[in-house]
Amino acid sequence: MSMKSTMMQVPLSLNHFLERAKLYHPKVEIVSRMPDKSLRRHTYADFHRRAKGLAEALVKAGIKPGDRVATLMWNHYAHLECYFGIPAAGAVMHNLNLRLFPHDLAFIVNHAKDRFLIVDDVLLPLLAQFAEDVNFERIIVVPLTGKSVAQGHDDYETFIGKATGDFNCVEVDENAPCGMCYTSGTTGNPKGVVYSHRSTVLHTLVAALPGGINVSGTDTVLPVVPMFHANAWGLPFISTFVGAKQVFPGPHLDSDSLLDLYQRERVTVTGGVPTIWLSLLQTLRANPAKYDLVPGMRMLVGGSAAPESLFRGFDEFNLEVATAWGMTETSPLGTVSLLKPQMRSLSKEEQYGFRTKQGMAAPLVDIRLIGDDGEVPWDGSSVGEIQVRGPWVTGGYHDLPLNESSFTADGWLRTGDVGCIDSEGFLRLTDRTKDLIKSGGEWISSVELENAAMSHPAVAEAAAIGIYHPKWDERPILVVVKKAGADVSGDEIKAHLAKSVAKWWLPDAVEFVDSIPHGGTGKVSKKDLRDQFRDYKLADA
Please list the residues that pair with 192 across neighbouring strands: 182
Q: How far is CA 415 from the centre of its chain?
A: 15
244 backbone φψ class: left, alpha, beta (φ>0; ψ -120 to 50): beta
- The DSSP code for 429 is E
- Helix, strand, or coil here: 199? helix
Residue 163 has φ and ψ, to the nearest 5°, of -65, 145
In whole angstroms, give the CA distance from residue 29 to residue 449: 43
182 contacts 108 by C-beta, under 8 angstroms:
yes
Catalytic residue numbers read: 183, 329, 438, 443
In whole angstroms, give the CA distance from residue 393 to residue 421: 20
- Among 173, 175, 238, CA closest to 205: 238
44 contacts 243 by C-beta, under 8 angstroms:
yes
In whole angstroms, give the CA distance from residue 281 to residue 290: 13
Q: How many residues in the chain? A: 541
Residue type, position 508, single letter: D
- The DSSP code for 336 is E
Please list the residues that pair with 336 across neighbouring strands: 324, 360
In whole angstroms, give the CA distance from residue 80 to residue 341: 36
In whole angstroms, give the CA distance from residue 324 to residue 394: 18
Exposed e or buried b per residue across 93-103, where buried means at least 16 C-beta atoms within 10 angstroms of its C-beta: bbbbbbbbeee
